Amino acid sequence: MNGYGGKILRVNLTTGKIAKEQTPVDIARDFIGGRGFGAYFLYKEVPQGADPLGPENKLIVSSGPMSGLMIPGAGKCDFTTKSPLTGGYASASMGGHFTAEMKYAGLDSIILEGISSKPVYLFIDNDRVELRDASEFWGQGTIAVEKQFKEKFGEDFQIAVIGPGGENVVSYACINHDFGRQAGRGGVGAVMGVKKVKAIVIHGTKSIPVADSQAYRNAGKALYKACKDASFLEEWTRYGTTVVTSWCDEVGALPTRNFSAGSFEDGKNLYGPVMREKIVITDKGCFGCPSPCGKYSRSKKYGSYVEGPEYETIGLLGSNLGISDIEAVAQANLLADDAGIDTISAGNAIGWAMECYEKGIFTKDDTDGLDLKFGNIEATFELIGKISRKEGFGAFLAEGVKKASQKIGKGTEKFAIHVKGMEQSAYATHNATAMLLAYMTCDVGAHHNRSWAITYDIQVGRDLVVPEKVARVIWLQNFRPMFDVLGGCRLQWVELGIDRDLYITALDAITGIHRDWNDYEKVGERIWNLTRMFWARENDGFSRSWDLPAPRFYEEAPESGATKGQITKIEDVHRLLDMYYEQRGWSNDGLPTSERLAELNLSELVA
């Protein structure tokens, strides 16, 4: 099959059985690859009611038809599972070089099944696939382990590894790769950890078949040229995602003290140019990337050397904790990466705990003696370690803010910032109705990467609740994650403004199948509806209430900053959902109708 590795690798960790099967042509047609393959295999193969931490759950790692080819940013890899954080669908996208090696080893997906009785790592060198003893690596941080594997097998091997957070099954443990890239969200690292898989080590040398090699080369060149000629290549590369920090502060989107505000009085110390000047030492990109957004930083104060912090980490481990020292954020970033926990969820959990502490709900007796005032850098460092080790107060926060707040009660649920149990990424949404809706309806919980609509809010009117806004969110949800399906990065399109039809020319040449963007959008819609059905199948009573945002955004207006005095009224929250369900072709409870499922060729799969 052109554009594909051609094989699905299944590894049963309970029995040790390793098997390969042909990548199904019809599944490639209907779900393309990457996140699409993950959604399909998850729905089809993980039985209803499976314990996310039990042997029936699977971890599905997938590349896409772009992956490993000379297309800008063609290094995205998808990790899908049933989330231990949310109990629903989890799909985490990871940059770097891992997915390219998957394709060179002839693999479109790796499916980890069952549970190993002892720590192992999966070793893949082309057709040689082995489960090997990982006892000597168990308990070590991600950076040390990746380094040891690189020394042992060579630089050409790519490694996806969990840290103590994954081993200890922290609900928001991540999977690390390339010393600073993560499949961050939804607890994919916890699933790998409970399966006792410390790492996947992979290398391949096979060719990826393409339908028309000359047309593919020409299309690839055109894409790279478009990136090189882009007006803002230099600025984007200089700052990466940190270019957005000052802007978020200005418009009231920078999470501040557990999202109680969207502007931070000391925010200037965290801005991209400040970070560039103070700690950035070089840029770092993923496979085939002409516009590297990764920044390596060195903090003299803490002695840390880390890829990052990127914007999300600055927002959640910086301003959201009342911390304005960019070097401290870099150090916290390093600690979280090495421990293998998601900086977004960890920043939310610590921010929530700090607010509880400042309100007197927690005292030092609850926090293992930590003085959890906002801005306490040392306590933040300490807590990251405690969470990853599930030690004392850290074990309580390791379940995520939804479960922690439900255990404590006392009104703390109102400032537990999550949707469906996933902590919100770094955009405060007190008065940005499209962005709020994007979080409410995101397929994994409160994550921004499916639909980032806050610019649209600002251009058309932040508090407007109109069908056009809802349509924009839906279009973005169907379209943007297609890059996670194709195995590539969306940032060249969204930030450099590359003509998206250039991708069509390339994909046609690679696969030999003509599809236009409407066709891809349809696939995006199919995946969106399938994952919605997964949520409904796995959670009794799944309906509209699951789509509600944190009450903070409709009950408590910020007392300072750009959004001072502003909230979205609960009536408007429901109006947004009414319009969203109608435009999606869903019921008033937010479930896809049988007609909609039939239109998307999903009836048989979800029957």
Partner 1 sequence: MTATIRTSSALRDFLDGKDEFEVEAGHTVRETLLSLNIKPELIALVIVAGEQRSKDYVIQEKDEVKVMAIIGGG
Among 87, 209, 273, 292, binds partner 1 (CB under 8 A): 273
Instruction: Quote the least distance from Cβ 458 to partner 1, whole Å.
Output: 5
What number of CA atoms fall less than 13 Å from residue 358's CA on the CB side?
Answer: 16
> To 10 degrees, what angle do helices 343-358 and 377-389 make?
120
Our CB check for partner 1 shows the closer of 116 and 182 to be 182
Q: How big is the CA angle at 122 (ends 163 and 38), to the nearest 5 degrees?
A: 85
Among 18, 395, 458, 504, binds partner 1 (CB under 8 A): 458
Among 425, 433, 531, 563, binds partner 1 (CB under 8 A): 425
How far from the centroid of its chain's Cα atoms is residue 65's Cα?
A: 20
328-332 long-range Cβ contacts below 8 angstroms, 24+ apart: 328/301, 328/302, 328/377, 328/380, 329/270, 330/279, 330/297, 330/299, 330/302, 330/304, 330/306, 331/299, 331/301, 331/302, 331/304, 331/306, 331/381, 332/377, 332/380, 332/381, 332/384
The pair of structure tokens assigned to 114 is 């069952």
Among 56, 130, 156, 250, binds partner 1 (CB under 8 A): 250
241 binds partner 1 per the rule CB under 8 A: yes
Cα–Cα distance measured from residue 318 to residue 186, given in angstroms and rounded to the nearest whole number = 21
Q: Which stretch binds partner 1 (CB under 8 A): 177-185, 217-225, 283-291, 419-427?
A: 419-427
Our CB check for partner 1 shows the closer of 232 and 467 to be 232
Give the containing element (helix H, strand E) for 78.
strand 77-82
Cα–Cα distance measured from residue 434 to residue 517, given in angstroms and rounded to the nearest whole number = 23
Instruction: Quote the least distance from Cβ 273 to partner 1, whole Å.
Output: 7
Instruction: Quote the least distance from Cβ 157 to partner 1, whole Å.
Output: 29
Our CB check for partner 1 shows the closer of 195 and 469 to be 469
What number of CA atoms fall less than 13 Å from residue 215's CA on the CB side?
Answer: 14
Instruction: Quote the least distance from Cβ 342 to partner 1, whole Å.
Output: 13
Q: Which stretch binds partner 1 (CB under 8 A): 47-55, 229-237, 256-264, 576-584?
A: 229-237
CB atoms within 10 A of CB 275: 25
Q: Of 459-518, which residues contact partner 1 (CB under 8 A)?
A: 459, 490-491, 494-498
Residues linked to residue 305 through DSSP beta bridges, in sequence order: 298
Cα–Cα distance measured from residue 4 to residue 139, given in angstroms and rounded to the nearest whole number = 36
Our CB check for partner 1 shows the closer of 62 and 343 to be 343
Among 63, 91, 158, 246, binds partner 1 (CB under 8 A): 246
Among 454, 470, 502, 577, binds partner 1 (CB under 8 A): 454
448 binds partner 1 per the rule CB under 8 A: yes
449 binds partner 1 per the rule CB under 8 A: yes
Number of residues near partner 1 (by CB under 8 A): 35
Among 60, 145, 230, 334, binds partner 1 (CB under 8 A): 230
Among 21, 51, 127, 235, binds partner 1 (CB under 8 A): 235
Our CB check for partner 1 shows the closer of 488 and 590 to be 488
Instruction: Quote the least distance from Cβ 84 to partner 1, whole Å.
Output: 24
Residues 6+ apart with CB under 8 A from 519: none
Among 2, 217, 247, 551, binds partner 1 (CB under 8 A): 247
- What strands lie across the sheet with 175-177, from one edge to the other? 128-133, 120-125, 197-203, 158-161, 175-177, 181-183
Q: Which stretch binds partner 1 (CB under 8 A): 102-110, 157-165, 181-189, 231-239?
A: 231-239
Our CB check for partner 1 shows the closer of 310 and 382 to be 310
The pair of structure tokens assigned to 391 is 């030690």
Taken in order 39, 41, 44, 47, the sign of the CA dihedral is negative
244 binds partner 1 per the rule CB under 8 A: yes
Among 48, 214, 231, 545, binds partner 1 (CB under 8 A): 231
Among 251, 383, 384, 573, binds partner 1 (CB under 8 A): 251
The pair of structure tokens assigned to 222 is 């055109």
Our CB check for partner 1 shows the closer of 480 and 522 to be 480
Contact map string, positions 295 to 324, toward partner 1, x by CB under 8 A: ---------------xxx--x---------
Closest CA to 160 of 230, 81, 46, 78: 78
Contact, 208 vs 5, CB < 8 A? yes
Contact, 49 vs 43, CB < 8 A? no
Contact map string, positions 120 to 159, toward partner 1, x by CB under 8 A: ----------------------------------------
DSSP 8-state symbol, 384: H
Interacting residues toward partner 1 by CB under 8 A? 230-232, 235-236, 239, 241, 243-244, 246-247, 250-251, 273, 310-312, 315, 425-427, 448-449, 452, 454-455, 458-459, 490-491, 494-498
